[in-house]
């Protein structure tokens, strides 16, 4: 009998030691089996981290206080986090880049001594901490939230930043600001695009590449335009071929050459007037018209005659020679 009692006592002591070891050191939860090991820990002395390899639903029961931090980052297959009995976290709460996460259940959480960061969870639409009263550090809630509910919040000592979708209303949170809940700055913005850092970086890189391509095309077009303008300027500086016109006598036919005036074209008004040759008198009787008197050219003639004209200008009749020499 005594031996049986001793065995029972030893077994209970071993379990107590084992539970004490589990509850006193930090743990990493990769699946629900790891989470079930914490069931006997009302107060957990270390930090609890959900591994990036975790998937599906992780439920941690009976844990009321975490003296370290609680975090889950980069677990793309994790869909739900349920810690129904958790009342306080002495470290911080960080839940980020959980692409499949749709639900966070911490209905009893009232105090976080560091800060709360929940960001980069595109499928998390509803966020609520119904019993949360105090946050010693910052409160950062960004995502595509349709609603954020903090009905019991009494004070946030750090910076508060809340960003949600276009359907999220900031009116209730604004009323908390007017009541002096947010001690060190407050911002609430609805209408977030929900783009992560990678998507934003890709968009920025695409814009830069597009600008470079447009600049290159414009430079090439301007370069070709300048080359064409230079080519036209070179052609305009070549003087036209000029062939001197052939000067011919009045009765001769002028040969048609390039740059000369066509026989059917009228001469330019700026050309020099041609000298009219005097008409040769016909017959022995010489009559001079007072209106048509021309000076004889200075040519060497074998026989010249001089005539003396009667005095007086007679405009309407011919003048007769009175003395020939």
Q: What is the mean pLDDT of the chain?
A: 78
Domain-located, residue 241 = no
Confidence of residue 55 (pLDDT cuts 50, 70, 90): very high
The predicted pLDDT at position 24 comes to 85
Name residues whose C-beta falls within 8 Å of residue 60's C-beta, 6 or more positions apart in sequence. Answer: 29, 35, 38, 48, 82, 83, 86
Segment of 168-172, 201-205, 272-276 carrying the highest mean pLDDT: 168-172
Residue pLDDT, tens place only, 176-213: 999 999 999 999 999 854 454 555 677 888 889 999 99
- Give the whole-angstrom CA distance, residue 91 versus residue 114: 5
Integer angstrom CA distances of residue 125 from 12, 104, 138? 45, 10, 21
Domain-located, residue 243 = no
Domain-located, residue 132 = yes
- Host H or E run for residue 36: helix 32-36
- Give the whole-angstrom CA distance, residue 318 versus residue 270: 37
CA-based nearest residue to 146, from 129, 128, 162, 169: 169
Residue whose tokens read 């998937």: 55
In a 13 Å sphere around the CA of 258, the CA atoms on its Cβ side amount to: 4
The predicted pLDDT at position 139 comes to 97
The predicted pLDDT at position 100 comes to 97
Range(s) of the domain holding residue 21:
11-193
Domain-located, residue 290 = no
Beta bridge partners of 116: 93, 139
Domain-located, residue 242 = no
pTM for the full model? 0.56
The total domain count for the chain is: 1
| DSSP code at position 84 | T
Residue pLDDT, tens place only, 280-300: 555 544 545 555 555 555 555
Domain-located, residue 91 = yes
Over range 264-272, report the average pLDDT. 48
Domain-located, residue 307 = no
Name residues whose C-beta falls within 8 Å of residue 143's C-beta, 6 or more positions apart in sequence. Answer: 118, 119, 120, 121, 122, 124, 127, 163, 164, 192, 194
- The helix, strand and coil proportions of the chain, stated in percent and rounded to the nearest 5, come to 25, 25, 55
The predicted pLDDT at position 128 comes to 94
Domain-located, residue 186 = yes
């Amino acid at each position: 009998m005594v031996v049986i009692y001793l065995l029972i006592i030893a077994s209970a002591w071993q379990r107590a030691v084992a539970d004490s070891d589990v509850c006193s050191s930090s743990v990493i939860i990769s699946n629900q089996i790891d989470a079930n090991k914490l069931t006997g820990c009302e107060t957990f002395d270390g930090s609890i981290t959900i591994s990036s390899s975790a998937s599906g639903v992780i439920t941690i029961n009976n844990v009321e206080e975490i003296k370290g931090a609680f975090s889950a980052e980069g677990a793309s297959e994790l869909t739900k986090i349920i810690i129904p009995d958790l009342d306080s976290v002495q470290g911080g709460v960080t839940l980020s880049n959980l692409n499949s996460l749709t639900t966070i259940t911490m209905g009893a959480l009232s105090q976080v001594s560091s800060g709360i960061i929940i960001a980069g969870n595109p499928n998390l639409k509803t966020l609520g901490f119904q019993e949360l009263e105090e946050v010693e550090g910052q409160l950062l809630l960004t995502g595509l939230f349709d609603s954020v509910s903090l009905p019991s919040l009494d004070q946030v000592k750090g910076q508060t930043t809340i960003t949600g979708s276009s359907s999220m209303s900031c009116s209730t949170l604004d009323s908390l600001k007017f009541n002096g809940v947010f001690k060190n700055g407050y911002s609430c913005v609805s209408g977030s695009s929900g783009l992560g850092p990678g998507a934003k970086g890709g968009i920025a890189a695409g814009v830069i590449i597009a600008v470079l391509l447009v600049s290159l095309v414009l430079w090439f077009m301007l370069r070709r335009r300048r080359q064409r303008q230079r080519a036209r300027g070179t052609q305009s500086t070549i003087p036209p071929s000029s062939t001197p016109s052939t000067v011919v006598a009045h009765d001769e036919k002028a040969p048609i050459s390039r740059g000369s005036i066509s026989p059917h074209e009228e001469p330019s008004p700026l050309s020099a007037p041609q000298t009219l040759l005097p008409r040769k008198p016909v017959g022995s009787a010489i009559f001079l018209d007072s209106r048509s008197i021309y000076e004889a050219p200075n040519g060497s003639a074998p026989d010249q005659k001089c005539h003396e004209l009667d005095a007086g200008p007679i405009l309407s009749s011919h003048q007769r020679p009175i003395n020939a020499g």
